[in-house]
Structure 1
Amino acid sequence: MRTIWRDVADLVLPLDCAGCGCARAVLCEACGEELWGQEARRVRPAPEPDGLPVVHAVAPYVDVVRSVLLAHKERGAMVLSDALGRALASAVAEGEAQPPARRGRRRPGRACPERSLVLVPVPSVRRAVRRRGHDPTRRMAIAAARRLRAAGTSAAVLSALRHRRAVADQSGLNSRERQANLRGALELAPGAARLLAGRRIVVVDDLMTTGASLAEAGRVVRLAQTWESTGKGRTRAAVVAASPDSFEINRN
Structure 2
Amino acid sequence: MRGWWQELAGLVLPGACAGCGAARTVLCAGCRRALDGVAAGPVRPSGRLRGLPPVYGAAVYEGAVRAVLLAHKERGALALAGPLGAALAAAVAAVAGVAAGGPDPAGVGGGAAGPEVVLVPVPSARRQVRARGHDPVRRTALAAAARLRRAGVAARVASVVRQVRPVADQAGLGARERRENLSGALGVGPGGVRAVAGARIVLVDDVITTGATLAEAARALAAAGAGPVAGAAVVAAPSGSFVRIQSSTRTEQHSCE
- For the aligned pair, the TM-score class normalised by the smaller chain equals 0.7 to 0.9
| Structure 1 residue 63: Cα displacement | 0.8
Q: TM-score, normalised by structure 1?
A: 0.87
Counterpart in the other structure of 2:235: 240
With over 3 angstroms needed to count, the CA separation of the structure-2 counterparts of 1:244 and 1:48, relative to structure 1, is same
* C-alpha distance after superposition, 1:180-225 (max 9, x if no partner): 1011100101111111122110000000010001101111122354
CA distance in 1, matches of 2:132, 2:30: 27
Secondary structure class of the residue paired with 2:242: helix
Contact 1:196 1:224 in 2 (8 A): no
Counterpart in the other structure of 1:183: 183
* C-alpha distance after superposition, 1:82-132 (max 9, x if no partner): 000000000011112289xxxxxxxxxxxxx92111000011100100110
Secondary structure class of the residue paired with 1:119: strand
Contact 2:41 2:243 in 1 (8 A): no
CA distance in 1, matches of 2:129, 2:54: 27
Secondary structure class of the residue paired with 2:34: helix
Unpaired runs of 5+ in structure 2? 100-112, 246-257
CA distance in 1, matches of 2:55, 2:40: 10
CA distance in 2, matches of 1:27, 1:11: 12
Counterpart in the other structure of 2:61: 61
Large movers: runs of 4+ above 6 Å: none
Counterpart in the other structure of 1:217: 217
* C-alpha distance after superposition, 1:130-153 (max 9, x if no partner): 110000000000000000001110
Counterpart in the other structure of 2:103: none
Counterpart in the other structure of 2:89: 89
Contact 2:42 2:244 in 1 (8 A): no
With over 3 angstroms needed to count, the CA separation of the structure-2 counterparts of 1:19 and 1:149, relative to structure 1, is same
* C-alpha distance after superposition, 1:18-56 (max 9, x if no partner): 010000111111111111153210000010211001100
CA distance in 2, matches of 1:144, 1:123: 16
2:13 corresponds to 1:13: yes
2:29 corresponds to 1:29: yes
Query: After alignment, is 10-19 or 133-142 more displaced?
Result: 10-19
CA distance in 2, matches of 1:4, 1:20: 25
CA distance in 2, matches of 1:37, 1:169: 29
CA distance in 1, matches of 2:146, 2:8: 21
Letter in structure 2 aligned against 1:246: S
Give the number of equivalent residue pairs: 232
Secondary structure class of the residue paired with 2:35: helix
| Structure 1 residue 17: Cα displacement | 0.3
Counterpart in the other structure of 1:118: 118
Unpaired runs of 5+ in structure 1? 100-112
Contact 2:10 2:26 in 1 (8 A): no
Counterpart in the other structure of 2:107: none
Contact 1:198 1:225 in 2 (8 A): no
Secondary structure class of the residue paired with 2:184: coil
Counterpart in the other structure of 2:253: none
CA distance in 2, matches of 1:48, 1:11: 43
Contact 1:164 1:185 in 2 (8 A): yes
Contact 1:197 1:225 in 2 (8 A): no
| Structure 1 residue 9: Cα displacement | 1.5
Counterpart in the other structure of 1:140: 140
**What CA RMSD, in Å, does the superposition of the two structures yield over aligned residues?**
1.8
Secondary structure class of the residue paired with 1:235: strand
CA distance in 1, matches of 2:187, 2:9: 35
Contact 2:117 2:202 in 1 (8 A): yes
Letter in structure 2 aligned against 1:73: K
Letter in structure 2 aligned against 1:244: S
